[in-house]
Structure 1
Amino acid sequence: MFALTQHARRAVGCAAMIAGLTVAAVLGSGVASGDPRIIPSEQSLADAISAGLTPAADGRQPRAVADSGSGSGLSHASDALGEGPEMSAYLAAFAYGLTHPDAAPPGANRWNCAPAAEHPRPVVLLHGTWLNAYDSFAYLSPRLARAGFCVFAFNFGRSGLLDGGGLGPILPGRYGVGRIEDSARQLSEFVDRVRAATGAEAVDIVAHSQGGTVADQYLKFDGGADKVRKLISFGATYHGTSLMGIATLGRMINNLGVDILGFYQPIVGVANIQQAAGSSFYATLNAQGDTVSGVDYTSVGSRLDQVMNPYEWSFLRAGAGATVDNITLQAGCEQDLSDHLTIMYSPRATSIALHALDPAAYPNLECAFNPWLIGGGGGF
């Protein structure tokens, strides 16, 4: 196995090459169709991931294999500890997250933070599949903290290879792989800890990708509706995605890790099967509608999201007692080229989050260039 520092260096140094490979994989796999008719099965997802994996350094071709059914599906959560550095580009944050998989995003988890009168609710950040708190929010978190919010983040859905975690354990810091129902209960425990520490009656949630779905499960089935006032999401999998979309994320993450998969045959984690459009999980989750009463929703999607495809599947329909603001990231800002991962490093996305949290203090949305894959205006 290669040293993690080598992974980090090569992940950053090969950005252009990886971008080209990922584009080819996306176009070649037909992701743009967003076809919901693909049957959600572990083997079909494993085959889709395998189709775009790059060869190992020794020439061997890695492949994903489906779980044999031996995994227990257990997962757990953990705190993000020790603030990592602020990052302006996703690719740099991903590299740091490989070598510091449990780092807290800057500005987060300051447990002595007292909410100000202007911002009485703490903000809880939720990462997505095969991601972690740091590499998802190393850009957004410090900006929320500087704006005067108490910010908290944790790593949910941690699961080992033998527990059904699939690809998650292969690269350090790849969490969000356990059953979504379990992750929602982990969120419930974390929110209660945040409320106890801050004295706040309720929290607001900012979520990316699967994080939105975990929050949705918490709101609907684990008592979250009485403890959350706002849910702001980016590329959320509220209605699932095609297996091709999930496979694209798997190829992106693993190809960023360069050649480590040449020595493993990972299984597919249960959270990915649940997020396939048409799964039994979504039939239960959305049986009573998209929203719950008393919560204000802001849902942001990017036209260039190659995982949530079509991106409108991230949007919600308001039910009784709820408000929904569905936002296309590029509306009024065509130079924002954010994809599924770099959307959390978009200045415009950050301004949308701030506006949703405090529209009086942040009435205007920012517009800036944010490149595909790298993020952060192309800088590191």
Structure 2
Amino acid sequence: MTTSNRMRVRIAAAIMGAVVVAGTHSVNAQATTQPTIQDLVDAIDTGVTTAGKALADTGISSAPHSTIPTGNGPEMTDAAATFTFSLANENTAPAGANDWNCKTSAAHPDPVVLLHGSWMNAFDGFAYLSPKIKEAGFCVFALNFGQEGLLQQGGLGALLPGVNGIAPMEESAKEVSTFVDKVLTSTGAPKVDIIGHSQGGTVADQYLKFDGGAGKVDQLITFGATHHGTTLDGIATLGRRLTDMGFNALGFSQLLVGQGLIEQVSGSSFYSTLDATGDTGDTVPGVHYTSVATTHDEISTPYNATFLTAGPGATVNNVTLQDNCGIDLSDHLSMMYSPRAASIALHALDPAGHPNLVCTFNPYVL
């Protein structure tokens, strides 16, 4: 881990300490008046705000932005090992990605853009899949999107190495729009295919519907995407209900995890806008969708909420990873390291060249 990354982790730890101290002091000061839960949350909010002000001049704070990963890391087959590698190599591109001299072929005319999930990066999201797509003959490109400063509600992720996907998804979709235009200009291709994991699929939805992506994307292939939000096995729904009752559980969580994650709670205002499509379904005309879910998903829940309904002029293929392959135990993270998931992606990109789906054991991570 680099010196700057160590410093960021230490600052994050210091802020967490300030949060705990603020909460403890609040309870002690008001012990005789029986403090409410909201009193404690207010005290914690104050502690975070105070810590944030102390960092105002450190350069940590910044507007939402993205980074194009450079270089290429090794091909990896294990989600946990890849995460560890990415801590010290946060802006490294996965193997096969971001060759700006790559030109598409007649056999594979669409470059493939990879969009990672929340609190992730291009490398730990696609260290396994990216080289396989490159070896299949495609130009592959990846972006680290949704970066945000601590004081812009980026949460503690703003201080941790390799953490992206914390900014508002509306802003991330604009970053994706700029990146796709760069890919199209570089390759000379008229359209791209997008592969999105988790939040990456939802950001792609936003891009397609509101940021000009409809005419620039041929296929959207997603894995564990929060297309309709998540309950996080009920935790997020509980937070939403507490917030609706006046206890700002989600607002407090946003201070820690970032706005991009809070927006993914099912029933959020983000989805009220994203899904306000009338009778047109979840899709935009002219785009082919493949949405892959795993029954062992503990992040995007319920798992079948990732499935899509086709509207006019679009096609949808909803796939459960375990259909005809019960030995694949992939969860939300390890599905991006599943040979079966890779074969589904390659089949969607090139059915003739990759007609068969593989079935092998793949473990869960969490």
Give the TM interval when normalised to the shorter protein.
Answer: 0.7 to 0.9
Question: Which residue matches 2:167?
Answer: 178
- Is 1:350 aligned to 2:342, yes or no? yes
2:104 counterpart (94, 98, 115): 115
Q: Which has the higher helix share?
A: 2
Question: Which residue matches 2:323?
Answer: 331
SS in 1 for 2:120: coil
Q: For 1:130 and 1:244, how far apart are their aligned partners in 2?
A: 18
1:294 counterpart (282, 286, 289): 286
Question: Which residue matches 1:169?
Answer: 158
Q: Is the 8 A contact 2:232 2:299 kept in 1?
A: no
Q: For 1:78 and 1:206, how far apart are their aligned partners in 2?
A: 18
Question: Which residue matches 1:18?
Answer: none
Q: For 1:277 and 1:174, how far apart are their aligned partners in 2?
A: 22
Question: Which residue matches 1:309?
Answer: 301
Q: 1:79 to 1:319 in 2, by over 3 A?
A: same
Question: Which residue matches 1:135?
Answer: 124
Question: Which residue matches 2:354?
Answer: 362
Q: For 1:231 and 1:66, how far apart are their aligned partners in 2?
A: 42
Question: Which residue matches 2:29?
Answer: none
1:90 counterpart (59, 67, 79): 79
Deviation at 1:74, TM superposition (A): 3.4
Q: For 1:356 and 1:301, how far apart are their aligned partners in 2?
A: 15
Q: 1:99 to 1:246 in 2, by over 3 A?
A: farther
Q: For 2:340 and 2:355, how far apart are their aligned partners in 1?
A: 13
Q: 1:181 to 1:369 in 2, by over 3 A?
A: same
Q: 1:199 to 1:167 in 2, by over 3 A?
A: same
Q: Is the 8 A contact 1:305 1:311 kept in 2?
A: yes
Which 5+ residue runs of structure 2 have no aligned equivalent? Answer: 7-36, 54-60, 237-253
Deviation at 1:162, TM superposition (A): 1.5
Count residues in correspondence: 306
* Deviation sequence 1:203-234 (CA, Å, 0-9, x none): 00001000000000000000100000000000
Q: Which has the higher contact order (CA 8 A, sep 6+)?
A: 1
Segments ≥4 residues shifted beyond 2 Å: 1-6, 63-74, 243-247, 265-268
Q: CA RMSD in A?
A: 2.9
1:103 counterpart (79, 89, 92): 92
Q: Is the 8 A contact 1:101 1:172 kept in 2?
A: yes
2:224 maps to a residue whose letter is G
Deviation at 1:280, TM superposition (A): 0.6
Q: 1:209 to 1:335 in 2, by over 3 A?
A: same
Deviation at 1:244, TM superposition (A): 5.0
Q: For 2:286 and 2:168, how far apart are their aligned partners in 1?
A: 26
Q: For 1:354 and 1:245, how far apart are their aligned partners in 2?
A: 33
Deviation at 1:93, TM superposition (A): 0.5
Q: 1:88 to 1:152 in 2, by over 3 A?
A: same
Q: Is the 8 A contact 1:206 1:232 kept in 2?
A: yes
Q: Is the 8 A contact 2:294 2:332 kept in 1?
A: yes
Q: Is the 8 A contact 1:246 1:307 kept in 2?
A: no
Question: Which residue matches 1:285?
Answer: 274
Deviation at 1:268, TM superposition (A): 3.0
Q: For 1:212 and 1:266, how far apart are their aligned partners in 2?
A: 24
Deviation at 1:237, TM superposition (A): 0.5
Q: For 2:66 and 2:353, how far apart are their aligned partners in 1?
A: 34
SS in 2 for 1:157: strand
* Deviation sequence 1:305-346 (CA, Å, 0-9, x none): 001111001000000000000000000111101000111000
Which 5+ residue runs of structure 1 have no aligned equivalent? Answer: 7-42, 48-62, 248-264, 375-380
The residue correspondences of 1:69-80 to structure 2 (distance < 5 A) are 74-80=63-69
Q: Is the 8 A contact 2:97 2:134 kept in 1?
A: yes
1:269 counterpart (258, 272, 283): 258
Deviation at 1:117, TM superposition (A): 0.8
Q: 1:245 to 1:3 in 2, by over 3 A?
A: farther
- Is 1:195 aligned to 2:184, yes or no? yes
Deviation at 1:170, TM superposition (A): 3.5
TM-score by length of 1: 0.75
SS in 1 for 2:86: helix
Q: Is the 8 A contact 1:304 1:338 kept in 2?
A: yes
Q: For 1:334 and 1:129, how far apart are their aligned partners in 2?
A: 27
* Deviation sequence 1:216-274 (CA, Å, 0-9, x none): 00000001000000000000001000155787xxxxxxxxxxxxxxxxx9623001111
Higher Rg of the two aligned structures = 2
SS in 2 for 1:169: helix
Q: Kindly, what percent of the aligned residue pairs are identical?
A: 58
TM-score by length of 2: 0.78
